[in-house]
């Protein structure tokens, strides 16, 4: 379990626009991440970093399963590569509206760094399961000398922190697994049509990998957005048939406990009563009623 340490992060606005180009860096590191709205790509192309070797991320519209879409790439001249992605003939990657590029302040990244970082980033993003990756394949691990590989892991760690700071937690697990988060508080949904485990987080409700629900939906949700979402989760491999059930192949974030329960059970559900702690208390008792009682005392 990774221990988090305090950090100082600086975000610079070249044009003074908080919604425009933003440059983020940890003050003691040599790596910076530049966030570029697609509409302001021409401004980035004027920056010296546009000529550098870079790992980059294209971020855009949600997939049908509700996950933000991303493409992870690398280039020896990132400005030129982003310009190619911006062309009309690059239809396969026309989903993006922002790019984030990882560069070295000392311009010391090599093509070998970039190839390893691309391969490693795709694997880590796939494991995290937060984003729908538009990469056609995971690529092959390039031959990387041990000292250079060690540098790449440090670069990746810095880039991951900066990406999350800029609102793109591509590599962060959905479940609370950091040392500072303390013990997990799990909730269970067990019935004749479900055997699920989940976690209530600051972002929503996460159904954990291995949770199982009924394969067929009830007539009450047929033709609804919930049935369409369920089908899309199956189509994207997030839920997979196992016997007469559907099983989550990875952790998946839902906006609410009720949405999570409905998709898991294949029927309308009130997640605040369906999800229960290990002691049998409902989420409503553990979370909402506790908040209400504290508010009454204040």
Number of domains in the chain: 2
Taking the CB of residue 182, how many other CB atoms lie within 10 A of it? Answer: 8
Q: Is residue 276 part of a domain?
A: yes
For residue 174, give the nearest of 245, 233, 251, 248 by alpha carbon: 251
Same domain assignment for residues 219 and 283? yes
Angle of helix 257-265 versus helix 225-235 axis, rounded to 10: 70
Q: Cα-flanking dihedrals φ and ψ of residue 261, to 5°?
A: -65, -40
Same domain assignment for residues 60 and 13? yes
Q: Residue 178: pLDDT band by 50, 70, 90 thresholds?
A: very low
pLDDT at 99: 97
Same domain assignment for residues 219 and 136? no
Name the average pLDDT for the chain: 90
pLDDT at 295: 46
Same domain assignment for residues 157 and 186? no
Q: Cα-flanking dihedrals φ and ψ of residue 140, to 5°?
A: -105, 145
Q: What is the pTM of this model?
A: 0.77
Q: Residue 2: pLDDT band by 50, 70, 90 thresholds?
A: low
Q: How far apart are alpha carbons 76 and 55 in whole angstroms?
A: 9
Q: Is residue 172 part of a domain?
A: no
Are 267 and 221 contacting, i.e. CB atoms less than 8 angstroms apart?
yes
Domain of residue 187: give its range.
179-297
Same domain assignment for residues 202 and 157? no
Q: Residue 180: pLDDT band by 50, 70, 90 thresholds?
A: very low
Q: Is residue 16 part of a domain?
A: yes
Q: Considering only the C-alpha atoms of the chain, give the largest distance between any 2 of them, rounded to a whole number of Å.
A: 62
Taking the CB of residue 38, how many other CB atoms lie within 10 A of it? Answer: 17
pLDDT at 91: 62
């Amino acid at each position: 379990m990774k221990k988090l340490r305090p950090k100082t992060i600086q975000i610079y606005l070249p044009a003074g626009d908080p919604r425009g180009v933003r440059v983020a860096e940890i003050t003691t590191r040599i790596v910076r991440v530049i966030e570029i709205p697609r509409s302001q790509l021409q401004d980035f192309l004027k920056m010296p970093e546009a000529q550098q070797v870079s790992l980059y991320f294209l971020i855009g519209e949600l997939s049908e399963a509700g996950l933000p879409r991303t493409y992870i790439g690398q280039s020896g001249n990132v400005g030129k590569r982003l310009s190619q992605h911006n062309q009309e003939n690059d239809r396969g990657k026309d989903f993006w509206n922002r790019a984030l590029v990882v560069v070295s302040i000392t311009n010391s990244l090599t093509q070998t760094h970039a190839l390893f970082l691309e391969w490693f980033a795709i694997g880590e993003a796939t494991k995290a399961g937060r984003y729908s990756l538009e990469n056609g394949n995971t690529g092959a691990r390039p031959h990387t000398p041990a000292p250079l590989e060690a540098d790449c892991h440090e670069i990746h760690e810095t880039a991951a922190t900066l990406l999350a700071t800029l609102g793109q937690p591509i590599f962060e697990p959905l479940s609370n697994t950091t040392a500072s988060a303390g013990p997990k508080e799990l909730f269970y949904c067990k019935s004749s049509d479900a055997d699920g485990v989940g976690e209530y987080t600051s972002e929503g409700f996460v159904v954990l990998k291995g949770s199982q629900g009924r394969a067929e939906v009830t007539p009450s949700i047929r033709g609804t957005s919930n049935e369409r979402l369920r089908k899309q989760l199956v189509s994207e491999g997030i839920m997979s048939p196992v016997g007469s059930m559907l099983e989550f192949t990875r952790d998946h974030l839902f906006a609410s406990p009720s949405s999570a329960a409905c998709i898991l059970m294949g029927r309308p559900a009130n997640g605040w009563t369906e999800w229960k702690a290990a002691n049998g208390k409902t989420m409503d008792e553990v979370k909402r009623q506790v908040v209400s009682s504290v508010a009454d005392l204040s």
